[in-house]
Chains A and B, each alone.
Chain A
Amino acid sequence: MNCLEYRQICGAEPNHRDAAFAEHEAQCSGCRAYANELRELDGRIRQALMIELPGQTEAAQEQTMAPARRSWQPARLGLAASFLAAVGLGVGVWLSAPPPALAEAVTGHLSHERHAWQTTDNPVARDVLDAVLKDGDIEVRQNFGLISYARTCNIRGHDVPHLMIQGERGPVMLLIMREEKIDQAIPLRADGYEGLILPVGDGSIAVVGREGEALEPLTEQITQSVDWSF
């Protein structure tokens, strides 16, 4: 193995192990220094790649939705709440039988996707919204208002369109749950948030905003705007 061959291998795998590689390194001080430099660089690359997990840095920024209500809920949630909840807790809850009550599933979902809770004038991209609504077999009429976020989420084992619209006091979460039939409206309250789950056809729609949000006109508008056929 010559120096060029050695450095080509070393540049891709500084810790490469084979006899010819080791032999050349033992004999060539220049290449040995090159390898040591790259190994030192790799150590620093590894340090740089070890980003702090959001839960480690930002959990303290957010309050949990209802810490006293669910023993499984983390005490603090941050931007990474959905990750932590999904990986460590949410999946655990989702996986543990029996499935949570609908109200609890909805309030539990408040701690997911914290980045969606932004006050904004920017609508979600039309193709994203269309894809989410298509997933849910749902049509939304034009008078629905500004939809700033859309994605398909899993609520109690069902794919559910999760939309964020802009209310008077900030974002309002909608979960359009065509598989969740309820007989009457269910009020929701979690730390700093309030809302309700409305029966709509053979399904339901959860509407949750920050405390004080004028939900009544919104709910009326929403139930009139959503079109679905069961």
Chain B
Amino acid sequence: MNETESELARRRRFEALTRAHRDDLYRYAFWLARDHAVADDAVQECLLRAWKAFASLEDESRAKPWLMTILRREHARLYERKRPDMVAMQDLSQRENAMLGSQHNTDIDDLRAAIFRLDDSYREPLVLQVLMGYSTTQIAEQMNLQQNAVLTRLFRARKQLKLALERRGLRGNDGGAA
């Protein structure tokens, strides 16, 4: 009985932890995959793996980076399996179109489209920094990169987005291009 209660408590703790991070997990998965269905699968796989490995999480305050790491690995695994579908460039516009318009804000939709088209290696650190609040050190750990490489990618990501917006005539009102 005690064992059952303890197991139940552990399960509830896991559920609470994952619930707290579910939005971030999904958004991270989406921006990795640029595909809702793949993001959905990756998150589901991530949670199953996380539950199996829950005992290895020693510090629950580290749950978010722990989950993000698992998610990244699961996405890579799905990517390997579904690679032909996922990299088909002709699908990109369709996926982009499906995604656009949800914001009902042309500026944001255009920026989202520009992010959508960023190279994976630039998009991921940007998502981790801007959306997840990761430091460049944490991003380097998550992506197994040198910190200088992370800084370069972030710099280039912003530069490309600025250029994309300028080309669309959507540059911010405060001007001051570099």
Q: Chain A residues in contact with chain B, CB under 8 A?
A: 7-9, 11-14, 30, 33-34, 36-38, 40-42, 44-54, 57, 79-80, 82-83, 86-88, 90-92, 95-97, 112-113, 115, 125, 127-128, 131, 151, 154
Q: What's the Cα separation between A207 and B3 when bound, in Å?
A: 36
Contact call A151/B155, Cβ cutoff below 8 A: no
Contact call B84/A125, Cβ cutoff below 8 A: yes
What distance in Å separates the Cβ of B173 from its nearest Cβ neighbour in chain A? Answer: 9
Inter-chain contacts of A125 with B (CB < 8 A)? 82, 84-85
B66 within 8 A of A: no
Inter-chain contacts of B162 with A (CB < 8 A)? 41
* Contact A79 to B37, CB < 8 A, known contacts A12-B136, A12-B151, A87-B18: yes
- 1/0 per position for B1-23, CB-CB distance to A under 8 A? 00010011001101100110011
Contact call B44/A50, Cβ cutoff below 8 A: no
* Contact A49 to B152, CB < 8 A, known contacts A83-B44, A112-B44: no
Report the tally of A-B residue pairs with Cβ distances under 8 A. 149
Secondary structure of the B side of the interface?
helix
Residue with the greatest number of chain B CB neighbours at <10 A, chosen from A41, A45, A53, A125: A45
The residue in chain A whose Cβ has the minimal distance to the Cβ of B172 is A40
* Chain B interface residue bracket vs A: 35 or more
Nearest first, the 7 A-B pairs at minimum CB distance are: A33-B176, A95-B11, A11-B155, A115-B37, A87-B22, A12-B154, A48-B112
Q: What's the Cα separation between A13 and B129 when bound, in Å?
A: 9
The residue in chain B whose Cβ has the minimal distance to the Cβ of A131 is B81
The residue in chain B whose Cβ has the minimal distance to the Cβ of A35 is B176
Of B11, B22, B130, the residue contacting A42 (CB under 8 A) is B130
Contact call A37/B175, Cβ cutoff below 8 A: yes
Contact call A86/B47, Cβ cutoff below 8 A: yes
Contact call B44/A8, Cβ cutoff below 8 A: no
Contact call A36/B174, Cβ cutoff below 8 A: yes
* Contact A12 to B155, CB < 8 A, known contacts A37-B174, A49-B115: yes
What distance in Å separates the Cβ of B16 from its nearest Cβ neighbour in chain A? Answer: 10
* Of B25-33, B57-65, B89-97, the one touching chain A: B25-33
B36 within 8 A of A: yes
Contact call B102/A11, Cβ cutoff below 8 A: no
Contacting residues of chain B (33-64) with chain A, CB-CB under 8 angstroms: 36-37, 39-41, 43-44, 47-48, 51
Contact call A41/B155, Cβ cutoff below 8 A: no
Contacting residues of chain B (99-154) with chain A, CB-CB under 8 angstroms: 99, 102-103, 105, 107-109, 111-112, 115, 126-127, 129-131, 136, 150-152, 154
Contact call B178/A11, Cβ cutoff below 8 A: yes
Inter-chain contacts of A37 with B (CB < 8 A)? 172, 174-177
Contact call A11/B26, Cβ cutoff below 8 A: no
* Contact A50 to B27, CB < 8 A, known contacts A8-B155, A87-B43: yes
B159 within 8 A of A: yes
Of B40, B81, B165, the residue contacting A79 (CB under 8 A) is B40
Inter-chain contacts of A151 with B (CB < 8 A)? 41
* Contact A44 to B108, CB < 8 A, known contacts A8-B155, A54-B40, A82-B40: yes
* Contact A96 to B159, CB < 8 A, known contacts A37-B172, A40-B174, A57-B102: no
B76 within 8 A of A: no
